[in-house]
Amino acid sequence: MATILRWEPFRELAALQQDMSRLMGGWLGESNGERNRQWVPAVDVWETDDEIVYAFDLPGIPQEKINVEYEDGALTVSAERDRAHKVEGDHFYRYERRFGTFARTVGLPQGVAEEQIRAEYDNGVLELHVAKPAQQKPRRIPVGGQQSAIEGSAERA
């Protein structure tokens, strides 16, 4: 028996972005068993009825060092995390926390305007709230007449 699944393009886009990040991290992220020192923060993406939310983990970064830019249908989040403690001599055992600058770009749905984007920062988490663009109604173009909107309704199954 066949199962019908609802297509959710935003979830598909997030999964593709995660797979590509994992692929590129595998090729560029390790050399000789040691990870490189660049870092990219984790991001969660979810959607509500009205918006898409991107949540970036940015612990230890003050709000004034975070930069969010919107250009050509994409949001770029960049920041710099300074190394908190520098250890001199032979007392250094393990170094796993990343520091330095990063930039991460996420694509937005077509039709999103800059006014529809809102940013909140709390407890090391940057949340970008992007209002979903209104879907355009199809237009009927009569031969030799004026345009009018096609009326209809949609029901969810």
Contacting residues for 36 by C-beta, under 8 A, at least 6 apart: 28, 29, 30
Q: What's the whole-model pTM score?
A: 0.60
Residue pLDDT, tens place only, 115-157: 999 999 999 999 999 998 877 778 888 887 565 555 666 666 5
Cα–Cα distance, 126 to 41 (Å, whole number): 11
Domain boundaries, the chain: 41-86+93-136
DSSP state letters, 28-81: HSEETTEE-S-----EEEEE-SSEEEEEEE-TT--GGG-EEEEETTEEEEEEEE
Name the fold adopted by 41-86+93-136.
Immunoglobulin-like (2.60.40)
From the CB of residue 56, how many other CB atoms can be counted at a distance below 10 Å?
Answer: 24
Residue pLDDT, tens place only, 12-70: 777 788 777 777 665 554 443 344 456 788 899 999 999 999 999 998 889 999 999 99
Which of 113 and 6 is assigned the larger pLDDT?
113
pLDDT of 153: 64
